[in-house]
Amino acid sequence: MNERDEDRVERVDPQGILRHLNFPRQVLIESALEAERNGEDHPAVVEYPQEKAIGSDAEIIEESWLRDNHLLRHDNLRAECAHAEASSKGGVVAGFIPRRAVSFLVGDSGIGKSPLAYQLGLSVAAGVPFLGMETHESLVVMCDYENGMEESLNLSDQLARFLNLKAVPKNFVLWSPDYSHTDSLNIERLCETAGQKPGFIIVDSLRSHDAHFEKHEYAGEKMNHLNKIAYKYGAAILVIHHTRKPDRENPVSGLHDDSTRVIRWLREAAGSGSLINQSHTRIAVDSLDGRSSMDAALIVRWYRKSRGEGGPLYLERVCDDSGEPFGYQPLTDIKLLSNPDQEKALRSLPQEFAFKEAKQALNRTDDPTSKFLKKCISLRLVRQTGRGRYERTDNTTAAETYDSAVR
């Protein structure tokens, strides 16, 4: 903002009413200039999610009281919710990992969570799709307690090649305890001191970052603080976490089983239930480990707060020319539905169809039909084209199925 604009602000708002309301600088100036353009003697009312310009001393005092006590009027609440909704839909990974929130990725040790996390971080840093999901290019901080610096270097280079990047993006940065003089990254200080605010912070893993998180007496308070950091600085924070030792007498069903509820499976996460309850997106990762004939390395399902379950994604581990693991890519096949009734229903649907037609084909009620369609979408068999409208993206049509049966 140049000197001339500053002079105009002083002339339009000589009493500094807008400054008294502690508006952001840019909003102050825009309001004053708008008032001048409209020929007004007093600052114009501007639309801003958390504030509005007001005139009387009583109104100023009331607004100050609301702000100091972190209270929201209904209109302000609507604006905040709209902001959160946009953050969730867009997110650093669209419809998967929102900004301004803490998410968890939970899975057993040694199944490949770290390579998956690196692929995710590099995809966001480069602004390229992650497993087919759109990303928002951001500064990514990879806080890696699990791998040494050499392993981190190899993973980054390997996955950059897999993603067809010319090089590891400059806005993908690593924090390693091997390089730092401290045992743990101070996430709040990182966000406070950054010139370019981190858009995405990955912590691998929670136990190594701060073992107190897993203790029942500390978990709630620590999760509350971490959520406040994410919200205040507009960052998405993803925490990698382990499952507890399995109960051999009462084993939990696998993620490949349709009857398994993701939120129930996530109770196997080590430590306090507050870790899962106070996070936004809870991502469950499991290896098929011979429990299925599907040729996949990992299965991924998730639960988003207020949105419910998502997935599954079946991931295969692609190898390079030497046979070394390279990166993950999603599998898509109608057989991955693993349900004869669902396969039959999908094959019977036309290329474009409505929710009502899917419900008739599946011969189930609304909720099972909705879950069936979400499953088809995550498997890249169907895409939604509008409200209640869908399109098949698989290559198998009912006619082809019939011809194959005849032959």
- pLDDT given at position 239: 97
Let me know whether 224 and 144 are in one domain.
yes
Let me know whether 176 and 305 are in one domain.
yes
Is residue 324's pLDDT more than 70? yes
Is residue 392's pLDDT more than 90? yes
- Domain membership flag for residue 85: no
- Domain membership flag for residue 76: no
Let me know whether 183 and 131 are in one domain.
yes
- pLDDT given at position 245: 85
Q: What is the mean pLDDT of residues 148-163?
A: 95
Instruction: Output the average pLDDT for the chain.
Output: 83
Let me know whether 271 and 321 are in one domain.
yes
Q: What is the mean pLDDT of residues 83-96?
A: 71
Let me know whether 213 and 321 are in one domain.
yes
Q: 243 has which bridge partners? A: 269
> What does DSSP assign to residue 371?
H
Let me know whether 378 and 287 are in one domain.
no
Task: Report, in angstroms and rounded to the nearest whole number, the Rg of the chain calculated over CA atoms.
Answer: 25
- Domain membership flag for residue 88: no
Q: Lowest mean pLDDT: which of 281-290, 348-357, 395-404?
A: 395-404
Q: How many beta carbons lie within 10 A of that of residue 106, not counting itself?
A: 26
- pLDDT given at position 385: 94
- pLDDT given at position 399: 36
Q: What is the mean pLDDT of residues 13-20?
A: 50
What tokens were used for 86? 């946009």
Q: Which of the listed residues 279, 307, 331 is the one where a domain comes to its end?
A: 331
| 339 neighbors 360 (Cβ within 8 angstroms) | no
Is residue 199's pLDDT more than 70? yes
- Domain membership flag for residue 82: no
Q: Which of the listed residues 331, 364, 380 is the one where a domain comes to its end?
A: 331
- Domain membership flag for residue 180: yes
Let me know whether 305 and 351 are in one domain.
no
CA 336 to chain centre: 24
> Could you tell me which residue, 246 or 401, shows the higher pLDDT?
246
- pLDDT given at position 99: 92
| 297 neighbors 316 (Cβ within 8 angstroms) | yes
CATH number at residue 351: 1.10.10.10
Is residue 370's pLDDT more than 90? yes
- pLDDT given at position 169: 96
Q: Give the number of domains in the chain.
A: 3
Is residue 381's pLDDT more than 60? yes
Q: Lowest mean pLDDT: which of 31-45, 193-207, 390-404?
A: 31-45
Let me know whether 320 and 261 are in one domain.
yes
Torsion of CA 154, 155, 159, 165, to 10 degrees: -50
Q: In what order do the strands lie in the sheet with 325-330?
A: 172-175, 140-144, 200-204, 236-242, 101-107, 281-287, 298-304, 308-319, 325-330
- pLDDT given at position 403: 36
Torsion of CA 25, 31, 33, 34, to 10 degrees: 160
Is residue 237's pLDDT more than 90? yes
- Domain membership flag for residue 229: yes
> Could you tell me which residue, 404 or 231, shows the higher pLDDT?
231
| 241 neighbors 202 (Cβ within 8 angstroms) | no
339 CB burial (10 A radius; 0-12, 13-18, 19+): middle
- Domain membership flag for residue 78: no
What is the extent of the structural domain holding 19? Answer: 3-71
Q: What is the mean pLDDT of residues 331-345?
A: 91
**Which are the contacts of 257, defined by CB distance < 8 A and separation ≥ 6?**
none
- pLDDT given at position 44: 43
| 318 neighbors 326 (Cβ within 8 angstroms) | yes
Is residue 59's pLDDT more than 80? no
What tokens were used for 239? 């925490």
- Domain membership flag for residue 352: yes
Q: What is the mean pLDDT of residues 381-406?
A: 69
Let me know whether 116 and 198 are in one domain.
yes
Let me know whether 262 and 307 are in one domain.
yes
Is residue 308's pLDDT more than 60? yes
**Which are the contacts of 242, defined by CB distance < 8 A and separation ≥ 6?**
106, 107, 108, 109, 205, 206, 207, 269, 270
Q: What is the mean pLDDT of residues 176-205?
A: 94
Q: What is the mean pLDDT of residues 381-398?
A: 84
CATH number at residue 112: 3.40.50.300
- pLDDT given at position 364: 95
| 166 neighbors 159 (Cβ within 8 angstroms) | no
Is residue 34's pLDDT more than 60? no
Let me know whether 278 and 134 are in one domain.
yes
- The total number of residues shown for the chain amounts to 407
Let me know whether 53 and 118 are in one domain.
no
**Which are the contacts of 370, defined by CB distance < 8 A and separation ≥ 6?**
355
